[in-house]
Amino acid sequence: MSNPSIPAGPGVATPAVVLRTRTLREADLIVVLLTPGHGKIDCIARGARRSRKRFPGGLPNGARGEARIADHQRSRGSLVNLVDFAPSTDHAKLGRDLELFAYVAYLCELSDQLIGSAAADPTGFARLCEALAAAMEGTHPALLRRYELSLLEGLGLLPALSHCSVCGSPVDEQDQGVAFSRERGGALCLAHSRATQRIPASVLSLAEALLEGTGETDAAAYAEIDPATRRDLRDLCRELLGPHLRGPLRSLAFFAQLPR
């Protein structure tokens, strides 16, 4: 478990996102929170399954709001007491929309698996909040791809997309596509492209556009992109994420239940 140092005081209030919960005994929950100033916090929410006063709306995965954490002294690895959680948005829609539920579950599980540090990361926290807010407004694959890429970028795990990962020179599209090797750091120029896979330049260009937040992030614009390019980008993101995951993403099963 990854608990930060909580500042002294009568209790600490912090913006937070619920990444994961687990039942403990009859009424308690183990809650993993992501916060901008304290990273990931492993908490115990006593009576959370019964108390609607301290936990209005419950603690569903993806809930955004303000958490108050007790400042008691604790040993290394112990759980922090989650006193209360005040949601900033209405999350009731999560229980009525299977597609939205799948998107939120995936965003939270991916963040939980890749973010292992208790270090402050306001930018990473903001990116997750932005992705969750976008999903609540309307689900479309572009927001998933953008979050996957931005999460890799924020953690320093994103490979080179437009410049050679070996020498830094710009890469040119060849008839067979751009040479790319995850093991060697990403895109490769002609001089360093021997015996590597090829990826269509359109796929890498789309990845860069999503990171930069250009028009391709719009649902309608993304839907107009060639399906093969969108599918190749999805597969590339999964290939890049795979080595950094602790295990299979169970949330992907929800997508299998969605209408095609």
pTM beyond 0.85: yes
Based on the domain organization, do 40 and 128 belong to the same domain? yes
Structural domain boundaries, residue 51: 12-137
From residue 233, alpha-carbon distances to 54, 81, 142 in Å are 42, 41, 10
CATH number at residue 51: 2.40.50.140
pLDDT for 169: 92
From 137, 172, 196, give the residue that closes a domain.
Answer: 137
Q: Which residues contact 95 (CB under 8 A, 6 or more apart)?
A: 60, 101
- Mean pLDDT, the chain, as a whole number? 88
pLDDT for 5: 45
Under 8 Å between Cβ of 86 and 66: yes
Tokens of 258: 């969605």
Q: Which residues contact 165 (CB under 8 A, 6 or more apart)?
A: 159, 181, 184, 185, 186, 187, 188
From 119, 137, 155, give the residue that closes a domain.
Answer: 137
From 137, 156, 189, give the residue that closes a domain.
Answer: 137
Under 8 Å between Cβ of 164 and 192: yes
pLDDT for 132: 96
Among candidate residues 151, 146, 105, 133, the one with its CA nearest the CA of residue 258:
105
**Does the pLDDT of residue 18 top 90, yes or no?**
yes
4 domain residue, yes or no: no
Alpha carbon 194 to its chain's center? 34
pLDDT for 258: 83
Based on the domain organization, do 24 and 123 belong to the same domain? yes
Sign of CA dihedral 58, 15, 89, 253: negative
Q: Which of 142-151, 172-181, 249-258 is the least confident region?
A: 172-181
Based on the domain organization, do 154 and 231 belong to the same domain? yes
Alpha carbon 86 to its chain's center? 22
Based on the domain organization, do 102 and 21 belong to the same domain? yes
C-alpha to C-alpha distance for 165 and 171, rounded to whole angstroms: 10
7 domain residue, yes or no: no
